[in-house]
Each structure stands twice: as C-alpha cells, then as structure tokens.
Amino acid sequence: MLIALLPGDGIGLEVITETRRVLDAVCGDRLTYEEALVGGAAYKAMGHPLPPETLAIARRADAILFGAVGDPDCDSLERKLRPEQAILGLRAELGLFANLRPAKGFKELVNESALRPEIAGAIDLLIVRELNGDVYFGEKGMRKTDAGRRQGYDIMSYDEDEVARIARVGFETARARRGKLCSVDKANVLETSQLWRDVVIELSADYPDVELSHMYVDNAAMQLVRNPGQFDVVVTGNLFGDILSDQASMCVGSIGLLPSASLDANAKGLYEPIHGSAPDIAGQGKANPLATILSAAMMLRYSLGMAAEADRIEAAVAKALAGGARTADLGGTMRTAEMGEAVLRQL
Ligand code: NAD
Ligand code: IPM
Ligand code: MN
C-alpha cells in the first residue's frame, strides 16, 4: 500500500517523523511511502504551495498522511500562493468533503483538561465537518465601496446536495455510535443555515433510529464547555466545524491530541492532526506528536483495512499517557521524540 507522506511546514515535520517511526514498527514494509513538499516548503523550493508533482502523488496513493502547513514568511503573499492553499487545494481537488474529527477524553488526562475532571472524563464525541464548501470556497475578494472605502467579502453558501451528502455521513456515523446526531447551524440569522436545517430535517425521515437535535453554533460553543458529554455526533459546516474542533481539543486536554480523517465518497482519505504548523514552537522539539500518530491509526482503520494495527497504536498511546508521558502542552517536560519513544515502548 502506498502512502503519500506530506510533512509540510513547522512542527509538521517533527510530528510526521515520530509518526513514521510508529508506522514502521507496526506495519513494517507493508506500507511504502512517497514523500513530497507541500505548503510554504513547496512554495520556497518550487514556487507553488501545491506543486503538480505533489498533487499527482496524492492522487495515486492509497492514503495521504499530512503534517501541517503554514509559514509566517508567507503571510503577505497573494492568497493563492499561501501555504494554506495546499491543504484547501488537496481537499477540493480530491473531493475530500467529509472531515471526521473525534474528540474522546482520555481518563489518564482528565487533570490536564481545561474542564473539571468529571466533565472532561465524559467527552466522547465526533465532529463531522463539511470540508468542500461554505464561506471557505465561495467568491471572495477586496473591492472599494461607492464611498471609496476598502471592503473585503467572502460569500457563504451551500447547495442542498452538498448539505445532504455530509448530513448522510452524520446520520450514518451516529447510527454506528450511540445514535445521537446534533446538527449545528446559525439558522436564526443565516439563509445558508436555514437550508442546512431544512435538508437535515428532510433526510431524518430515512434515519428514524437516530435521535436528531439542532443547536445554534453560539450555544454549541457554550455547551461544549458546560457539558460536552451530551454530544455524540455533531454535524456542521466548514467554518463552524473548524472552530468547534479546536475548542473540543482543549476540553480533552490539548490541541496536540486530536486527529482527523478527510474522506471522499469512496473513503479515500487524507489524515492529519487538527492543529497547524505552530510557528511559535517549531524546530524546538516541543510539539506533541500524538494527534498525528492517532491520525495514522485512523488511516490504517478507514483507508487501509488494518483495524488491528490501528487498535494497537491507539492502545499504545493510551498506555504511554497512563505511564505519565507528557509533552509541554500537557504540563510535562518530554520532547517530541521522547513522546514518540514512549509510544514505541508500549507497542
Ligand atoms: P496552530 O494549531 O498551529 O497553533 C496554535 C497553538 O497551539 C500554538 O500556541 C501552538 O504552539 C500550539 N500547538 C499546536 N499544535 C501543537 C502540538 N502538536 N503540540 C503542542 N502545541 C501545539 O494554529 P495557529 O497558530 O493559529 O496557526 C499557525 C499556522 O498553521 C498558520 O499558518 C495556520 O494557517 C496554519 N494552520 C494549518 C493547519 C493545517 O495544516 N491543516 C491547521 C491549522 C492552522
Ligand atoms: C484546519 C485549518 C485549515 C482550515 C486552514 C489551515 C485552511 O485550520 O485544518 O483546521 O481552516 O480548515
Ligand atoms: Mn483549524
């Protein structure tokens, strides 16, 4: 099986290095890798954040393992050349519309959460985030108003088919878990969200066994901190899902813990931590590699049919945490490589 390995920028390189060691230990030569530049690194070497060679490797691979992109040196480039366009381009070009972002409390980490232990311990939710539409991909630009003032704009829109295909993923994953689906929108203000809610309600007729609820996104942000244990599957749009998943990570304990899968209609996938390139700690050996290691486990389970190997990695991570392994984000002193070694020891 061929893996496209795209470390990207900043801590992306550091967390992918540890993840590769774990994959080598678990899968050996059953996996082969083609590594390519992406993001700011690709822009600096080749003049584009998502060079055609990188996209071609991603297309022919069985799965993509992605670190992170983002480089402060590139923040003043025109938008289409910025590192972030690489991940947006991969999601769009490969039709990766379904972003699964699980947030599960580790009992070993309830004291590292920003929430009280009894609240943090109850977290076991899955954010199903739409990834190919919304305000991310609408028309955008800068223009002058009639009064001559600068104006920026980004069009938010969803059509009913886009909503229906992600809503089905929400219903199906809820059905396979605890049977509860909460659709998060802003239907009290946005037409985009009114259509979202209407389509979700129409589809719910096909899933009478799933308990459906609706919540406005502002309330959802509050409820995630008040009582995250109430959520099973949360289905939402691209922007709301982006924000809520960073928030959910801190309920579990750290942004350095949450993995993700971005899937197309045939479960071909890109796997990446939910965090970014963390320029503030890049190159210092401080990054927590667990989000990426857990993303690799999701890759084995969802795209490569290696569920037993995925289980082994997840169990090793839990045991490493139970044994006290802590990087700085979790209040400890371990370096990135030491956390990788703590997981390797448990395999
Ligand atoms: P970020 O997620 O990179 O970092 C936010 C904070 O969390 C920082 O203080 C960072 O040090 C910390 N952090 C993140 N990951 C960590 C880890 N594994 N271990 C320990 N601490 C960790 O978000 P940001 O600072 O807003 O963005 C930095 C750059 O990353 C930007 O260019 C942004 O566009 C990009 N970004 C890329 C992705 C992606 O590639 N999918 C995701 C988010 C942000
Ligand atoms: C993420 C990131 C990306 C997003 C950025 C880097 C485009 O924040 O993967 O969560 O907003 O989707
Ligand atoms: Mn994000």
Mean pLDDT of all residues in 6-26: 98
Q: By alpha-carbon position, which residue is closest to atom 11 of ligand 2?
A: 242
Q: By alpha-carbon position, which residue is closest to atom 17 of ligand 1?
A: 256
Residues of the chain with CATH 3.40.718.10: 1-112+258-347, 117-252
pLDDT at 267: 81
For the chain, the average pLDDT equals 97
- Tell me the per-residue pLDDT of 25-55, one tens digit each, with 9 for 90 and over: 999 999 999 999 999 999 999 999 999 999 9
pLDDT at 151: 98
Residue 88 Cβ inside 6 Å of ligand 2? The answer reads: yes
195, pLDDT greater than 90:
yes
Mean pLDDT of all residues in 157-163: 98
Q: What are the residue numbers of the active site?
A: 136, 186, 218, 242, 246
Mean pLDDT of all residues in 66-89: 97
Q: How far is the CA of 69 from the centre of ligand 1 (A)?
A: 9
d(CA 126, CA 173): 9
Structure pTM?
A: 0.98
| CATH superfamily entry for domain 1-112+258-347 | Isopropylmalate Dehydrogenase (3.40.718.10)
Which position has the higher pLDDT, 164 or 106? 164
> Partners of 262 in the beta sheet?
99, 270
Give percent helix, percent strand, percent coil of the chain, each to the nearest 5: 50, 20, 30
pLDDT at 318: 96
Residue 84 Cβ inside 6 Å of ligand 2? The answer reads: yes
Which atom belonging to ligand 1 lies closest to the Cα atom of 69? 40
Which pLDDT band holds residue 192 (cuts at 50, 70, 90)? very high
- Nearest Cα neighbor of 132 from 169, 104, 177 is 169
Q: Which of 6-10, 40-44, 263-267 has the lowest mean pLDDT?
A: 263-267
Alpha helices in 150-289 (DSSP H): 160-176, 191-203, 217-226, 238-252
Residue 242 Cβ inside 6 Å of ligand 2? The answer reads: yes
Q: Which of 118-122, 151-155, 287-291 has the lowest mean pLDDT?
A: 118-122
Q: How far is the CA of 72 from the centre of ligand 1 (A)?
A: 12
Best probe residue, ligand 1, of 13, 243, 244, 255 (max atoms within 8 Å of C-beta): 255
Positions at the binding site for Mg(2+) = 218, 242, 246
112, pLDDT greater than 90:
no
Q: By alpha-carbon position, which residue is closest to atom 1 of ligand 1?
A: 276
In DSSP notation, 218-233 reads HHHHHHHHH-GGG-SE
Best probe residue, ligand 1, of 6, 50, 275 (max atoms within 8 Å of C-beta): 275
d(CA 39, CA 49): 4
Q: Which of 107-116, 185-194, 219-228 has the lowest mean pLDDT?
A: 107-116
Cβ neighbours around 239 below 10 Å, total: 17
Q: By alpha-carbon position, which residue is closest to atom 1 of ligand 2?
A: 274
**Structure-block tokens of residue 53:** 């060679």
- Tell me the per-residue pLDDT of 316-335, one tens digit each, with 9 for 90 and over: 999 999 999 999 999 999 99
Between vectors from CA 106 to CA 120 and to CA 30, what angle results, nearest 5°?
145
Which pLDDT band holds residue 12 (cuts at 50, 70, 90)? very high
**Structure-block tokens of residue 341:** 């070694």
Percent of the chain scoring above 70 in pLDDT: 100
Quickly name the fold that domain 117-252 has: Isopropylmalate Dehydrogenase (3.40.718)
pLDDT at 280: 98
Q: How far is the CA of 38 from the centre of ligand 2 (A)?
A: 15
d(CA 94, CA 106): 33
